[in-house]
Amino acid sequence: MAVPSLANTEVAKFFTNSEWLSAVVDALDAINAPFTGMLVGSATWDAASIADGDAEDKDIVVTGAALGDFVTAVSFSLDLTGLQLTAAVTATDTVTATLSNSTGGAVDLASGTVRVVVVPQASLAAAPTVRSTLLTK
């Protein structure tokens, strides 16, 4: 069975319209814009043994972080063995990561690396939407 050609069809005209393509590329750039301002930080963390019901904090320097910014990701280089890992901006240039234990027993992790990603709230507030970018073309 032959595959029909899309040449000279409305579909082909739509996808070869350079103004439309330019608007889509501009919109994708607009989506990416806030993420070019992401801030990252990391620190070595050798947490002490954490008893059930307890938690331990680690401050991480993230230059440019401010109260109200979004910590969008936090990771640890080792298996957390049931611990919960959270993070928040707690002061200018500081993100505090917290390991919390609700496993029912003490957990003693080996030394590892904690990493965080912060998105400044100002970069999100100023970011255009795809809709607004496409509709202004």
Least confident of 12-16, 23-27, 113-117: 12-16
* Mean pLDDT, rounded, for 7-33: 59
**CA nearest to 34, candidates 133, 129, 131:** 129
In this predicted structure, the answer to whether residue 55 has a pLDDT above a threshold of 60 is yes
pLDDT at 39 (0 to 100): 92
pLDDT band at 108 (very low <50, low <70, confident <90, very high): very high
**Ranges of each domain in the chain:** 38-125
The pTM assigned to this predicted structure is 0.69
Residue 103 and residue 82 in contact, taking contact as beta carbons nearer than 8 Å: yes
